[in-house]
Each structure stands twice: as C-alpha cells, then as structure tokens.
Amino acid sequence: MTSDMDGKFDWLIAKAAAQPGPTLRVAVIHPVDASSLKGALDAAQAGIMTPILVGPIAKMSAAAELAGLDISGLVQIEAPYSHAAAARSVELIHEGNADALMKGALHTNEMMAEIVKRAGGLRTDRRMSHVFLLSTAGYHKPLLISDGALNISPDLTSKRWITQNAIDAACAIDIDPPKVAILSATEEVDPIIPSTLDAAALCKMADRGQIKGGVVDGPLAFDLAVSPESVATKGLKSPVAGDADILIVPAIEAGNMLAKQLDYLAGASAAGIVLGASVPIILTSRADSAEERLASCAFASAVAHWQRDQS
C-alpha cells in the first residue's frame, strides 16, 4: 500500500490516543529502514504506543541517522538478524514485556514462522487472519477486507475465524454491529461455485451463534455488497447488501487484489493487522508509508484495548 493518508484515519488515531491506561508496548521486529523507524516514532509521538526496537542496534542506529531520526529515547534490544529479532520479540510477549508486535524490514513468512510455532509461539484456539481497514472517497464509511494477506485458500473452518476476527476488529473501532458480506461471484448459492456454498454455511453458522457480534449475509457479489443502486436494480432483500462494513473474500488473491485496486485506482488509504494470535500483530507492507504504519498502530491499539475490556 502506498497511498497518502490525507487525514483519512484521523478519527482512528484520535481514538487510539484517547484510550485509558498505559499505551501499548509494541515490539518492532527488525526495524532497519527509515519507514519502520518513522512509523514507530510517529506512533510514540501520537501517544498510541511505546515502541521497543528489536534488531541489530548498529544497523537500526545507522538507518535512523541516515533518515535524520532520533531513536535514542526508545528501548532497543539487540538481535543479530531478522529471524532472531522475530524470535526475541515473541519472547518479550511471553515475558509480559510487550503487548503487541509490529513487522519491520523483514518478510512476513519469516516473522510468522515464529508466531505460529506450536511450542513457544502465539497461537490461540482461533485461526490467525489479516484484516485490511480501508478509507476511500468512493465509499461512505470505513471498509474492512479479510483475508488478503495471510490465509491462502481457507477452508470453511478457517473462514469462520476469518469472519469472527474481522467482526471483532470492527467492534473495536465502534462499528457495532458490523454488517458482513461474504463475497462470491453471485448472490445465488450455486453448487459449482464452492465459495457460494461456504457463504451459505457461514450465514447459518452465524444464525446458530458460531459466529457472533455481526450481521452476516452471503453469498453477495461485490456490487451488491457496496452499491444500494445495484441492490435496488436486482430487487435483493438483505440486511447487509449495499451497506457492508466487512467484506470476506473467498481466497487471498481476491482480497489482495481488491485492497490494492482500491488503493491504487480509488485513492484509498489502508491499515492492516493480524488477529487470532494472543496479541495483535501490526502487519504492514514494506511499501507502506510511515503514515499508513501509524494508522495500523492505531488500529492495533484500539483492538488491544477492546480485547482487554472483553476479558
């Protein structure tokens, strides 16, 4: 994601900064580039989080100096390379010395390898999933999309947790109850299109209380999820259609393409986090601006505080 923020997430940043209690302690994994460091510094200055920089201190200091950033006031923990930084950051969570993780200048799979370990990782009984939060002039409210970054081809059980995680994220930013559209290529349940069968099953799971906190409908084509005009033209009766807060996509390709199309063609700004682990994970792209990293920090902070209130 590369869009400029233009104040699109000011409301989210203000909400995170106003949360009661101590700020979120975030282990920033291998922040050896300017964007990772600036995102962490901006979030600290906004009162959203307290960064803990985990990585090779010499490289972090050199990157900060080159970018004209002052990181001398931040806690810095030595880890010689990126994989070691990921492992040490997970340890900080287990030690009670950090409340969340933030991806720096390393590949997602390298970071997630430590997080998903069955012994010593951050697994829960949920499936981990990524949630994009987008703000675009083309839609009248924030829009959440899942999963476009983590689960490649999720089965029905995984889609249940993808949907639940997205609902929880929406509730954490005061979208309550969120309207959830389970996307496919059609609004009809068609046995030859597996995603329509999954959508129908997810709706029934919501009816039975296996998915909680949101209003779920599907299958819905994209136009029916977000366009009241399309809904009226097709005469569809739905509590979600035309006004969705959350779009649940069939597979990672659809979610990734959809989010990036909104970014590059519709001027959207994006934040992104992973839920389903024992703590929120700020999962940004290496191409994200520092402003988008700040919004992702605010998103994670709101979710973390909401989760504390629920426990």
Please tell me whether residues 103 and 228 are part of one structural domain. Answer: no
Q: Are residues 154 and 192 in the same domain?
A: yes
The number of residues in the chain equals: 311
Is residue 230 domain-shared with residue 266, that is, in the same domain?
yes
Question: What CATH number has the domain bearing residue 34?
Answer: 3.40.50.10950
Q: Is residue 139 located within the same domain as residue 62?
A: no
Domain range for 110 is 1-123+280-311
Q: Residue 6 has what pLDDT? A: 60
Output the pLDDT for position 183.
98
The tally of domains found in the chain comes to: 2
Residues 139 and 179 placed together within one structural domain of the fold: yes
90 shares its domain with 151 = no
- Structure confidence by residue, pLDDT tens digits, 33-57: 998 999 899 999 999 999 999 999 9
Q: Are residues 80 and 64 in the same domain?
A: yes
Between CA 218 and CA 241 the distance in angstroms is 9
Same domain, 70 and 207: no
Same domain, 171 and 262: yes
| pTM for the whole structure | 0.94
Same domain, 134 and 269: yes
- CATH number of the structural domain spanning residue 149: 3.40.718.10
Count of C-beta atoms within a 10 Å radius of residue 229: 9
265 and 164 together in one domain: yes
pLDDT along the chain (311 residues), means of 10: 61 90 93 92 93 97 96 96 97 97 93 94 96 93 96 97 98 96 97 97 98 98 97 96 98 96 89 96 78 89 92 75
Residues 152 and 181 in one domain: yes
User: Residues 164-194, buried b or exposed e (16+ Cβ, 10 A)?
Assistant: bbbbbbbbbbebeebbbbbbbeebeeeeebe
